[in-house]
Structure 1
Amino acid sequence: MSDPTDFPEPTTVSVNGVELEVFEAGRENAKPIVLCHGWPEHAFSWRHQVPALAAAGYHVIVPNQRGYGNSSRPAEVTAYDIEHLSGDLVALLDHHGYEDATFVGHDWGAFVVWGLALLHPDRVNGVVALSLPYQERGEVPWIDSMEAVLGPDFYFVHFNRQPGVADAVLDEHTAQFLRNAFRKDEPSKPPRPGMAMIDLARAETPLGEPVMSEDELAVFVSAFASTGFTSSINWYRNLDRNWRLLADVDPVVRQPALMIYGDRDTIPRSERLAEFVPDVEVTGLDCGHWIQQEKPDETNRAILTWLDQRAAARPATR
């Protein structure tokens, strides 16, 4: 477990019409790598990767993305679509004077990084995705498709069809929800009716084992107690808007990519990943959803090995 006081001190960076709280390490290094968190997370979810990547010669840039932590939380739902979220990352590169970078994303962060590679391909020299593989667009908007298959109580659908309902429950049970969410080695259980995130927030007894120490969990609890959950849930409320925004974009990710799955994650592997990401390497770790926090050393090893192999394969520049 890591000491929260060891995490870098943040700076505030003005980008793309918002302010982002950004944590950095290895500023003296010339190779930028940007780490993008998921939901319900925080830049602190990369605490185990930051020192390892900095020691390997990378300038590690870890934003709290819009809607999280002390970053801006615009009121408009549409301010959290893929154009805004990827635009923030492009502007962050501009701020630092970088043409491109390697982008690492977990969960929702992976969705944003995949979208960034499509919308701004010249700014991305490599993709590392944890948990969430590339999502093919399909013929039907994503929320409509999920509703047809998984029903109205599936939390993606519920967040969109009943805005504000889940937000209020999560806000009321912030510490309990996050304590119950960040678990590993959970016993298998049959699917239950109801909205999973609301049930998780109201559950008094957590399942499995904690992913992190109480001091580490306190960082997440403090952040969401301050912000509430609506701004981060608004990312979900843009899925169908994102589906429309990506309609005319080349759907193939042409950059080299590393896909890291948690073998016990509930998110399934993509059977068609290589069709949309032809230069992809796939690996799995024996863990659940919170990959880089459950298996930090193994995650670091997988990322650094892939980065080293890419560097070795690149032609030498004169």
Structure 2
Amino acid sequence: MSEPEQLTIDANGLSFGALAWGDPDAPLALLVHGYPDTAWTWRHLGPHLAERGWRAVAPFTRGYGPTDLAPDDRYFIADLAEDLLALHTALGGDGRSVLVGHDWGAVATYGVTAREPRRFAKYVALSIPPTPAMLKPWTRRATLGIGARQLRLSWYFVYNQLPGSVGGLDRVIPKLWRDWSPGFDGREDVDRAFAALDSPARRRAALRYYRNNLQRGLKATFTLPVGAPVLYLHGADDGCMQAEIIEHFPDSLPAGSRHEVVPGLGHFMQLEAPERINPLIAEYLGTPA
């Protein structure tokens, strides 16, 4: 892994910390992490894309240090999408730019496609399907079991709403990494997550992603359209979100999309097997003009 540059970027009224690889004048590849994770999740993909002619930039999303907390306590999908559009502008992005998101970063990516589908040339989403797909198992008798199992896997959705959940993250975050990527040693990334969530205010911010979008933003969350074709990748052994959802409901992705379920990988696939995931993403993105 080549060591990244560490940037500070002012965008959308916030100061974002970010990691970056590659020529600053090259076309932008914006890489967006999820929960409970950090920009360091792209430490393998960033250099890989830089070698292929991209300026890869991975911001710490709002609330995750060193990025600012949202001053208005807003962590809705629309806010995350607005951040990415503002970062695109602040980083000198153009029509060649590409956007890659994992977990909440994938949801934010869908938010960008819903708002300005032509802002980026190509989109990649990992591990979380379009949000309307999460409800589709309940629409068919044959897939009700998938829906029931997903409810059990998504226990943390409810836990993250509880008033005392901030105090339990020391136990919960390591458990999520173990459960979501079985067999992967995520201790390094757990430590980085805790470093980015190093205060009660930051931990509360990470939980606000769930509290905002699953309370006041519930309808908008589960009706979010995807407005542009996407490469969607999902690990077959993902312990967070079942790969069976996209396998049964591939029409959740818009026309022109591609999806692939990758055997033997869990939720944090970009870290578990970069030698398998990086080429899939790089081939889809192509070489920048």
Do the aligned partners of 2:235 and 2:269 also contact (CA within 8 Å) in 1?
A: yes
Q: Residue 138 of structure 2 corresponds to which residue in structure 1? A: none
Letter matched to residue 296 of structure 1: P
Per-residue CA deviation, residues 46-79 of structure 1 (Å, 9 max, x unaligned), is 11111100001111011001011210112544x1
Letter matched to residue 289 of structure 1: H
Q: Residue 274 of structure 1 corresponds to which residue in structure 2? A: 251
Instruction: Label 1:57 to 1:184 Cα distance change in 2 as closer, same or farther (>3 A).
Output: farther
Q: CA deviation at 1:293?
A: 0.6
Q: Residue 156 of structure 1 corresponds to which residue in structure 2? A: 157
Q: Residue 73 of structure 1 corresponds to which residue in structure 2? A: 69
* C-alpha distance in 1 between matches for 2:211 and 2:3: 31
Q: Residue 299 of structure 1 corresponds to which residue in structure 2? A: 277
Per-residue CA deviation, residues 190-219 of structure 1 (Å, 9 max, x unaligned), is xxxxxxxxxxxxxxxxxx54434x555533
Equivalences, count: 269
Instruction: Label 1:253 to 1:244 Cα distance change in 2 as closer, same or farther (>3 A).
Output: same
1:63 aligns with 2:59: yes
* C-alpha distance in 1 between matches for 2:59 and 2:156: 26
Q: CA deviation at 1:302?
A: 0.7
Q: Residue 17 of structure 1 corresponds to which residue in structure 2? A: 13
Q: What does 1:188-203 align with in structure 2 at a 5 Å threshold?
A: none
Q: Residue 94 of structure 1 corresponds to which residue in structure 2? A: 89
Per-residue CA deviation, residues 205-256 of structure 1 (Å, 9 max, x unaligned), is xxx54434x555533332223464211111111224444457997x3423x3
Q: What does 1:152-191 align with in structure 2 at a 5 Å threshold?
A: 154-160=155-161, 162=162, 164-170=163-169, 173=170, 176-183=171-178
* C-alpha distance in 2 between matches for 1:219 and 1:158: 22
Per-residue CA deviation, residues 143-179 of structure 1 (Å, 9 max, x unaligned), is xxx99x948x92213323x2x3111111xx2xx5444
1:218 aligns with 2:191: yes
1:259 aligns with 2:237: no
Whichever of the two has the greater Rg, that structure is 1
Do the aligned partners of 1:19 and 1:72 also contact (CA within 8 Å) in 2?
A: yes
TM-score (norm 2): 0.81
Q: What is the identity percentage for the equivalent residue pairs of Structure 1 and Structure 2? A: 27
Instruction: Label 1:15 to 1:252 Cα distance change in 2 as closer, same or farther (>3 A).
Output: closer
Do the aligned partners of 1:35 and 1:63 also contact (CA within 8 Å) in 2?
A: yes
Q: Residue 118 of structure 1 corresponds to which residue in structure 2? A: 114
* C-alpha distance in 2 between matches for 1:297 and 1:156: 31
Instruction: Label 1:10 to 1:280 Cα distance change in 2 as closer, same or farther (>3 A).
Output: same
Which of 259, 268, 273 aligns to 1:290? It is 268
Q: CA deviation at 1:276?
A: 3.9
Q: CA deviation at 1:305?
A: 1.6
Gaps of 5+ in 1: 140-145, 187-207
Letter matched to residue 182 of structure 1: W
RMSD of Structure 2 on Structure 1 (CA) = 3.1
* C-alpha distance in 1 between matches for 2:238 and 2:133: 22
Instruction: Label 1:76 to 1:109 Cα distance change in 2 as closer, same or farther (>3 A).
Output: same
Do the aligned partners of 1:185 and 1:209 also contact (CA within 8 Å) in 2?
A: no
